[in-house]
Structure 1
Amino acid sequence: MNRAVALRIAACGLMGLGAALLIAALLLSTYTKGKIAKIPLDIDTTLVSDGTGTVFDPASLNSQKFVVDKNVPVTSQQQISVESPSNADVVTLQVGNTVRRTDKQQDNGLLLALVDTVTLDRKTALAVSSDTNPGGSVQKPRAIGDTQPPTNVALPHDGLAYRFPFDTEKKTYPYFDPIAQKAFDANYDGEEDVNGLSTFRFTQNVGYDADGKLVEPVKYASLYGDDADATVTARASLWGLPGDPDEQITMTRYYAAQRTFWVDPVSGTIVKAQEHGFHYYARDALKPEVTFADYKVTTNEQTVESQIASARDEGDVVSLWGRVLPITFTAVGLLALVGGILLGSFTLRAESALIDPGLDDTTGHGFFGRRPTDTGPMPAAEAATEKIPTQRPSDLPPDRPA
């Protein structure tokens, strides 16, 4: 194989490599990123929020009057894990939600408990339903000492739940509230730095208006068959109401909430949250009479750091395949393509010069250094020599034999 053929093969190889890298960059930035930017299937985390509130004392159920304590330390906890069905397209999250007053032990401090299950589209983070899966369920409460396995009640979900989508936008999203059992708007409210991470802030009002005024509270949806915790009838003295102490008064439980989410826009991870929950009993929805739980909690620092680390890990994977590698492949591909074209051009000129040196004499000198013909006398070694003709026999002298 001569040098010209080798150069031609090298040029073709460089151009092929450049084209392949450019195609790979295009696929990585479109198709591959779409396959990677999904909710992980290995979520197993506990989110803790701390705060204070005015809350009911469960022990007072057996007293002469319901007791409501103020400035009580309150903790909200979410235990999130992945359940079936979960695959390449959907993920099912099971979330155990509890709110308890930490100044009381065990069940005496438990205020709220809910096990919520929801199936989400791994790309959009929206709840999905099918014929065999209603998109979500909640677990029926069990009595203390109940040895029967938990029973789930189908609860179709809609909107987002526990996460926002990858590449979160500055817009309003429907966000599901499992207590109210329906979705409410989570409105974009600006950008904010959280421990060095740039986040989008969203706010959600359930039963409140934008000014924090109670306008449309939700009637509490009981999970008990007899609505035991949604409608309560007790003596007026237990409620702490004036008048006949033995009069039976029936009150309905209502619920309202205000939430703020700080969301990593790349991965959709909620890195921080603040919640004001209000559960109360009243005969008129807009006139609270007996508070069950009025609390405000914020994600604690340890949970924030953990969520930020998770968000960055997810974002790094997406960034690697969706931005870093495409940019790198594009740059290297262009260099390879241009290098192949230049090498190919050089090879063609070299072959042309070997076939016809005169074709290369366009710049005043030959490709291989040949001297142009119009630059003056040539050296003697290169000068044309005169050929002396040979005498013919007829020109020989007559006295000399032929």
Structure 2
Amino acid sequence: MNRAVALRIAACGIMGLGAGLLIAALLLSTYTQGKIAKVPLNLDATLVSDGSGTAFEPASLNREKFVVDRDVPLALQEQVSVEAPSNADVVTLQVGSTLRRTDKQKDEGLLLALVDTVTINRSTAEAVSSESNPGGAVQKPRAIEDDQPPTNIALPHSGLTYRFPFDTEKRTYPVFDPIAQKEFDANYDGEEDVNGLTTYRFSQNVGYDADGKLVEPIKYSSLLDDDADSEVTAPAAMWGIPGEPDERITMSRYYAAQRTFWVDPVSGTIVKKEEHGYHYYAREPLKPEVTFVDFKVASNEETIESQVATARDERDRVALWGRILPITFVAIGLVSLVGGALLGSFSLRAESALIDPGLDEADHSFFDTQGMKVPGAEAKTEKLPAQKPTDLPPDRPV
């Protein structure tokens, strides 16, 4: 194989590499990015919010009067994990939530507990359901001494839960509330920096209007067979209501909430959350009489730092496959195509020079032919003087 053929093969290989890189860049920026921008299957986080509020004292159930304490320290904890079914298209999140009085020990301080399970689309973060999976469930409350497996109660979810979609937009999204058991709008409020990360802020009102006024509270849906926590009948004296002390009065439990979410718009991760929850007993929905818990909590600094780090990791993963690699492949691909074309041009000229050096006179310095000298071709030709013809005598016969 001569030098020209080798150059031509190399040129074709380099151009093929360039074309392949351009195709790969196109696929990465379209098809592959859609496969990468999905909710991870390895979510495992503990989210903690701290605050204070007015709270019922559970021990007072055995006293003559219900006791409600003001200005008590509270902590809301959410444990997020992944359960089955989870695959390339959907992921099932199980979130165990507890609200505790931190001034009480163990179960004496437990005010609220809920285990919520939802299956969501990994791309849109919206709840999905099928014949075998209703899209969500809540766990039936159990006594501490109960050693039986937990029982799930089917609760179809809709809208978003616990996450926003990738490429979150500046608009209103429906966000599901597992306590109210239906979705409520979360409205875009603006941009805000959270630990160096630009986030979108969304606000949600459940039972409140935009000014924070109680307008349409939700009647609490009990998960117990006897509805013991949604309707309570007790003497007026225990309720602390004026009148006959022994009069039996039945009150219903109502619920309302306000939430603010700070969302990373690239990954849809909620990096920070503030929540105001209000549970109370009343005979009329808009006339609260006895507070069960009225609290305001916000994500603590450790949770915010952890969620910001998670959002940045997901951002980097999407950027690597959706922007960095495609740009790199395009740049290398274009350089390879140009370099291959130039090398191919040189190979053709080299082949011409080998066939006939005279066809490539302009490139003698590149294709050196001094090593192929032909002695005869460079020998000087001696010129012989021409003999002058002599005149014949006129009388000499020819």
Q: Same fold (TM over 0.5)?
A: yes
User: Match for residue 372 of structure 2?
Assistant: none
Change (3 A) 1:44 1:387: farther
Residues 221-271 of structure 1 show CA distances to partners (whole Å, capped at 9, x for unaligned) of: 110112111111111111111122222211111111111111112221111
How many Å apart are 1:146 and its aligned residue? 2.0
Q: Residue 366 of structure 1 aligns to a residue in which SS?
A: helix
Percent of aligned positions that are identical: 75
Residues 176-223 of structure 1 show CA distances to partners (whole Å, capped at 9, x for unaligned) of: 110000111111111111111111111111111111111111111110
Contact 1:237 1:245 in 2 (8 A): yes
Contact 1:188 1:203 in 2 (8 A): yes
User: Match for residue 105 of structure 2?
Assistant: 105
Contact 1:357 1:366 in 2 (8 A): no
How many Å apart are 1:143 and its aligned residue? 2.4
Contact 1:159 1:176 in 2 (8 A): yes
User: For 1:385 and 1:72, how far apart are their aligned partners in 2?
Assistant: 122
User: Match for residue 391 of structure 2?
Assistant: none
Contact 1:281 1:289 in 2 (8 A): yes
User: For 1:367 and 1:147, how far apart are their aligned partners in 2?
Assistant: 91
Contact 1:91 1:121 in 2 (8 A): yes
User: Match for residue 368 of structure 1?
Assistant: 364
Contact 1:184 1:205 in 2 (8 A): yes
User: For 1:182 and 1:386, how far apart are their aligned partners in 2?
Assistant: 113
Match of 1:159, as an amino acid? G
User: Match for residue 204 of structure 1?
Assistant: 204
User: Match for residue 373 of structure 2?
Assistant: none
User: For 2:190 and 2:98, how far apart are their aligned partners in 1?
Assistant: 29
Match of 1:246, as an amino acid? D
- When the two structures are superposed, what TM-score results if normalisation uses the length of structure 1? 0.89
User: Match for residue 57 of structure 1?
Assistant: 57
User: Match for residue 302 of structure 2?
Assistant: 302
Tell me the C-alpha RMSD between the 2 structures.
2.1
Change (3 A) 1:355 1:96: same
How many Å apart are 1:108 and its aligned residue? 1.4
User: Match for residue 153 of structure 2?
Assistant: 153
User: For 1:355 and 1:150, how far apart are their aligned partners in 2?
Assistant: 87
User: For 1:123 and 1:277, how far apart are their aligned partners in 2?
Assistant: 30
User: For 2:290 and 2:164, how far apart are their aligned partners in 1?
Assistant: 35
Residues 113-155 of structure 1 show CA distances to partners (whole Å, capped at 9, x for unaligned) of: 0111111111111111111110111111112322322111000
User: For 1:211 and 1:386, how far apart are their aligned partners in 2?
Assistant: 116
How many Å apart are 1:358 and its aligned residue? 6.3
User: For 1:217 and 1:385, how far apart are their aligned partners in 2?
Assistant: 121
Match of 1:368, as an amino acid? H
User: For 1:387 and 1:30, how far apart are their aligned partners in 2?
Assistant: 82
How many Å apart are 1:346 and its aligned residue? 2.6
Change (3 A) 1:237 1:358: same
User: For 1:85 and 1:388, how far apart are their aligned partners in 2?
Assistant: 108
- When the two structures are superposed, what TM-score results if normalisation uses the length of structure 2? 0.89
Change (3 A) 1:198 1:382: farther
Between 325-334 and 163-172, the greater mean CA deviation after superposition = 163-172
User: Match for residue 400 of structure 1?
Assistant: none
How many residues align structurally? 376
Query: Unpaired segments of 5 or more residues in structure 2?
Result: 368-376, 387-398
Contact 1:357 1:367 in 2 (8 A): no
Aligned residue runs from structure 1 range 245-394, under 5 A: 245-355=245-355, 366-368=362-364
User: For 1:292 and 1:341, how far apart are their aligned partners in 2?
Assistant: 78
User: Match for residue 10 of structure 2?
Assistant: 10
User: For 1:92 and 1:102, how far apart are their aligned partners in 2?
Assistant: 30
User: Match for residue 194 of structure 2?
Assistant: 194
Q: Residue 112 of structure 2 aligns to a residue in which SS?
A: strand
User: For 1:19 and 1:387, how far apart are their aligned partners in 2?
Assistant: 66
User: For 2:235 and 2:170, how far apart are their aligned partners in 1?
Assistant: 51
Residues 351-402 of structure 1 show CA distances to partners (whole Å, capped at 9, x for unaligned) of: 3455566665xxxx633269xxxxxxxxx9688876999xxxxxxxxxxxxx
Match of 2:177, as an amino acid? D
